Amino acid sequence: MDVDALDEWIHSHLFDQVPQAISVIDREYRVCKTNHRYTEIFGTWHDRTCYDVLKGRSARCGGCQAAQVFADAQPRTTDDVWLDKDGRRGHYVVRLVPIPGEDDRVEYVMEMATDITESTKLEREHQILFERTPCYVAVLDRDLRMVRANEALRTTFGDHSGKLCHEVYKHRSDRCPNCPALRSFEDGQVHTEESVGVRQDGKPARYVVTTAPLARPGEPIEYVIEILHDVTDVLDLKDELERERLFLRSLVDHSIDGIVATEADGKIAVLNPAAEGLLALTAEDTIGSGDLARVFPEEFLEVLASRGASCVLPETAIRVGNEDIPIRFSGVVLRDDGRVLGSAGFLQDLREVKRLEREKLDAERLAAVGQTVAGLAHGIKNILTGLEGGMFLLRWGVEDDRKDKFQQGWEMLDRNFDKITSFVREFLSFAKGRVPVVAPTDSNRIVTEVVELYREAATEKGVEVTAELDPSVGEANLDTEAIHSSLANLVSNAIDACLVSDHKGGHVTVRTRERDGRLELEVEDDGCGMDYEVKRKVFTTFFTTKGTEGTGLGLLVTKKAVQEHGGSIDIDSTPGAGSVFRIILPRDRLPQLTPEDDEQQGGGSAV
Amino acid sequence: MAGAHYPPLDRPLSVLLIDDEPDVLTYLAAVLEQAGHRPLVASNAGDGFALLKQERPDVACIDIVMPEETGIALFRRIRSDPEIADTPVIFITALRPELTAITPAAGEEAMPEPDGYIEKPPDAKAFLATIVEVVREKRRQ
């Protein structure tokens, strides 16, 4: 094909082949001619106006650009939104070119439309992304001057126009060392840097800065886009979490009690040093294992199996090797809104506590024995007085042949030998003691029995004995017989106190009470009361205020019985107003129902 | 005979014994009687106080531990009654070592100091010696 032929081919085909939609309209705005692309997009056009085809209108558009071209014969470029044959909107850049007629008038206008719908959409999306992204985004020129800034940046740092990047973010006039934007300008690469700046309110801020060149590879770089992410809060939170974690970690590590925790899958996740020691395990071998029987007592395993919530075991045991170690245990299933996160157990080694408790009980028992021995002397002294007196009178009677003195002395000796017999018998029963028989016992029942025992005899003497029972008192491991005789002794003393009192017709009240983990048995009377000399001596010697009536052993026996239950006796007394004797039995010191403890208590009562 | 080692006083002494144990009263009264003194006996603090006011004995020997009113309470009553306040008082007690160890509770008066102690079981000679010594000491003042 020669050049002329080529020319002719181009003229005849170009109109149809260009990718733009081309139409020609006459002065009536009727579409006269179109190319292939136009028909493809807008459909049939014969005998229709341009505004009908492109906009579905019945009248010419206001501000019609074609009308201007018809008027001044100047080509124009505009953009417009047209509807395609299916009614979809499209964005076009349109070049309007005048086609002159014979009389120099513009006879036709040619409209060449380029579809920019897609690129307009992209541009809008970019705009939104740039503006609305929750970081500070700026476009920097080679001087690091901000030429554009997004909404977040403008809102936070105010007017940025013409300011330098480091002025805005760091309040500094010189450039930052290691500036990532400068590096992006130099090497055309993306750079990320952590940086410390100043917030609008003057507080320090921590940023992650990313810079990227705004140019295609190989082109000179005029601008760099810079994105700053304020991570101050995140990092502060991270630091705080780390501190919190360390704090908890150190609490767990230094706890005297063993701490064991599992994850939701039942695998052991925490085993602190105290737990390692107590359970003879190493964290290394145990963490990740699911063998919970090695770290939790059976009761808690049942709670876990039955999807329970928690359990507190004041005293239980855990098997370590072939030894049962006494522990106090508290276990809890960790939940977040019903979802199981795992479980945690706290184990307190009770071996030392148990040992100390045993030693304390032993010491108290020994002290009771010591006081008993010291007190013996007093009982014996009274009898010796009688014996010496008897001998004195007997001797006088013999020496001076005084029959009356002889008779008197003989009777005194006789009486005191009887006293010795009963004293020794009573003392032996005290000293020998008996093996306590401990069983779960209802204290209210004991009190009722004791009150019944004394009520009638007391009433005859004008003393009223009543019981006030606390229904919340639960069963306790008691030696029924020992507690019964202790209470009986206190009640008997209380009745005596009422009888020797000036105001006859007294009252004795026996109470039970459950308070602060202690079982209390109380005997109150409104009898003679005691002054402090008597109060002090009541338990410490064979002490009696009953003349020849008492041996002084009663309260000592009572004290011994109470001490063997790990308890104590409190006295409140006012001379002339009455006394309260209170047996206090801390529940955690009561005897256990094990053969071992029974044996110890039996052994402790020997003198 | 008991009391022979001591220079005799110008006259027999009247001695009030207050104890709730009859054996003690009988014994000590016999000791005094044999030595030629005049024993007066009471088995409780109330009777003893009345007898003291009435007979004005040379010395009163009082048991500490008695029901109702203790010997110490009685002793306080004696010391605060001007008529008989200067009567020498001797405690009869098996509690001497313990008594001296007692410290009064808050709000309570300390135990007053008596003129002498007789420990149980009493020795006849020592008892007479203490009586005589206490009365002599009192007269010297």
In chain B, the residue whose alpha carbon lies closest to the alpha carbon of A574 is B108
Of A383, A549, A496, the C-alpha closest to B94 is A383
pLDDT at B2: 43
| Mean pLDDT on B15-25 | 91
From the number of C-beta atoms within 10 Å of its C-beta (0-12, 13-18, 19+), residue A2 rates as exposed
Residue A48 has pLDDT above 90, yes or no: yes
Is the model's pLDDT at A424 over the cut of 80? no
Q: Do the chains contact at B30 and A386, CB–CB below 8 Å?
A: no
* Cβ separation B65–A382 shorter than 8 A: no
Residue A416 to residue B72, Cβ atoms within 8 A: no
Over the stretch A245-265, which tens digit does the pLDDT of each residue have? 999 889 999 999 999 999 989
Size of interface A-B (CB pairs under 8 A): 93
Residues from chain A contacting residue B23 (CB–CB below 8 Å)? 385-386, 389-390, 412, 415-416, 548
pLDDT of B79 reads: 92
Contact A544 B31 (CB under 8 A): no
A396 in contact with B at a CB cutoff of 8 Å? Answer: yes
Q: Please tell me which residue, A449 or B96, carries the higher pLDDT value.
A: A449
Ranges A78-92, A327-341, A420-434, A455-469: which has the least confidence:
A420-434
**Of all helices (H) and strands (E), which one includes residue A498?**
helix A480-499
Are A388 and B27 in contact (CB < 8 Å)?
yes
pLDDT value at B104 more than 70: no
- Taking the Cβ of residue A273 and every Cβ of chain B, the question of whether any pair is shorter than 8 Å is answered with no
Give the number of other Cβ atoms within 10 Å of residue B43's Cβ. 18
- Cα separation, A22 vs A583, in Å, equals 114
- The pLDDT assigned to B5 comes to 43
- pLDDT score of B71 more than 70: yes
**What pLDDT is recorded for position B50?**
95
Q: Please check the confidence at residue A363 and state whether its pLDDT lies above 90.
A: no
Residue A598, pLDDT > 50, answer no
B26: pLDDT confidence band, cut at 50, 70 and 90? Answer: very high
Flag whether residue A381 sits within 8 Å of chain B, measured between CB atoms.
Answer: yes
The closest of A600, A601, A603, A563 to A583, measured between CA atoms, is: A563
Q: Measured between alpha carbons, how far is residue A338 from residues A125, A308, A333, A334 in Å?
A: 43, 12, 10, 9
Asked if the Cβ–Cβ distance from B122 to A385 is below 8 Å, we say yes
Q: Which of A187-196, B103-112, B117-126 has the lowest mean pLDDT?
A: B103-112
Q: Decide if pLDDT at A480 tops 50.
A: yes
Predicted confidence at residue B3, as pLDDT, reads 40
Query: Kind and range of the H or E element at B23?
Result: helix B22-34
Q: Which residues of B are less than 8 Å from A412 in CB distance? A: 23, 26-27
Which residues, 6 or more positions from A152, have their beta carbon under 8 angstroms from its beta carbon?
A: A133, A134, A135, A136, A137
Checking if the pLDDT of A106 tops 60, the result is yes
Q: What is the mean pLDDT of chain A?
A: 85
pLDDT of A365: 63
Q: Which residues of A are less than 8 Å from B99 in CB distance?
A: 533
pLDDT reported for residue A167: 87
Give the chain A residue nearest B31 (alpha carbons).
A392
Instruction: Check if A432 contacts B (Cβ < 8 Å).
Output: no
> Which residues in chain A have their CB less than 8 angstroms from residue B68's CB?
500, 528
pLDDT in tens, A172-189: 889 888 899 999 999 989
pLDDT tens per residue across span A16-27: 888 899 999 999
- Cβ pair B72:A533 closer than 8 A: yes
Q: Does A412 touch chain B (CB under 8 A)?
A: yes
The residue-averaged pLDDT of A569-582 equals: 85
Alpha carbons A327 and A309: distance in angstroms, whole number = 20
Q: How far is A486 from chain B (nearest CA, A)?
A: 22
Residues whose CB falls within 8 Å of the CB of residue A551, separated by 6 or more in sequence, listed in order: A379, A422, A423, A426, A542, A544
pLDDT confidence bin for A153, thresholds 50/70/90: confident
CB of A573 within 8 Å of any CB in chain B? no
Q: Of the candidates B67, B102, B111, which has its C-beta nearest A546's C-beta? A: B67
SS3 of A342-385: EEEEEEEECHHHHHHHHHHHHHHHHHHHHHHHHHHHHHHHHHHH
Q: What is the pLDDT of residue B8?
A: 53
Residues A230 and A228: their CA atoms lie apart, in Å, by 6
Taking only residues 487 to 546 of chain A, the set having a beta carbon closer than 8 angstroms to any beta carbon of chain B reads 500, 528, 531-534, 536-537, 540-541, 543-546
Task: Give me the residue from B24, B66, B108 closest to A532, CB to CB.
Answer: B108
What is residue A336's predicted lDDT score, i.e. its pLDDT?
86
Contact B67 A500 (CB under 8 A): yes
- pLDDT-derived band at A536 (thresholds 50, 70, 90) equals low
Residue A604 has pLDDT above 70, yes or no: no
pLDDT confidence of residue A549: 46
Q: B69: which chain A residues are within 8 Å (Cβ-Cβ)? A: none
Are the Cβ atoms of B30 and A412 closer than 8 angstroms?
Answer: no
**Average pLDDT, rounded, for chain B:** 83
CA A232 from chain centre, in angstroms, equals 27
Residue A296 has pLDDT above 70, yes or no: yes
Least confident interval from A90-104, A157-171, A525-539, B19-33: A525-539
Q: Mean pLDDT, to the nearest integer, of A483-487? A: 88
Residue A361 has pLDDT above 90, yes or no: no
- pLDDT classification of A70: cutoffs 50, 70, 90: very high
pLDDT at A220 over 80: yes
Give the whole-number percent of chain A exceeding pLDDT 90: 39
Show residues of chain A in contact with B124, CB under 8 Å: 388, 392
Task: Please report the pLDDT score of residue A606 as a whole number.
Answer: 34
Indicate if the pLDDT at residue A47 is higher than 80: yes
- A48-62, A160-174, A369-383: lowest mean pLDDT where? A369-383
pLDDT at A154 exceeding the cut of 60? yes
Chain A positions in Cβ-Cβ contact with residue B42 (cut-off 8 Å) = none
Taking residue A239's Cβ as centre, other Cβ atoms within 10 Å add up to 10
Q: What is the pLDDT of residue A431?
A: 62
Q: How confident is the model at residue A343 (pLDDT cuts 50, 70, 90)?
A: very high
pLDDT band (50, 70, 90) for residue A461: confident
Out of A128-137, A388-397, A412-421, A494-503, least confident range: A494-503
| Check: complex ipTM more than 0.90 | no
The DSSP code for A552 is S
Least confident range from A80-94, A489-503, A587-601: namely A587-601
Please give the helix or strand (H or E) that residue A397 lies within, else none: helix A351-399
